[in-house]
Amino acid sequence: MDLVSATVVYSCLVAIVFMGLWIYYDRRDHARFEAERRQVSFHCAHCGHLYAVQGSSPNSTCPRCGQNNDRLRF
């Protein structure tokens, strides 16, 4: 194998590794963003605390006072 062929093969392997890393980290970041985006906001009617809970539950318990609150709608 001559030097030009070895350089082309090496360059292609490096490009494949970078593309694989790019796809992996892009999918990982997208999954993290989607998990963060699926948070539901709540406002406690008793103590006035604003908090968010992951998921799509219609009710949640306030972490400060324990009051059960409905989902905050905009």
Distance between CA atoms of 36 and 58, rounded to whole angstroms? 17
Residues 45 and 19 occupy one common structural domain: no
Distance set, CA 2 to CA 6, 12, 13, 16, 65 (Å): 6, 16, 17, 21, 74
What confidence category does residue 6 fall into, taking pLDDT thresholds of 50, 70 and 90?
Answer: very high
pLDDT digits (tens, 9 = 90+) for 10-60: 999 999 999 999 999 999 999 988 877 788 889 998 898 999 888 777 888
Please give the DSSP secondary-structure letter assigned to residue 18.
Answer: H
4 and 19 co-located in one domain: yes
Q: Domains in the chain: how many in total?
A: 2
Under 8 Å between Cβ of 74 and 55:
no
The answer on 33 and 1 residing in a single domain is yes
Q: 31 and 45: one domain? A: no
| Full residue range of the structural domain in which residue 67 is found | 39-74
Q: Is the pTM of this model over 0.85?
A: no
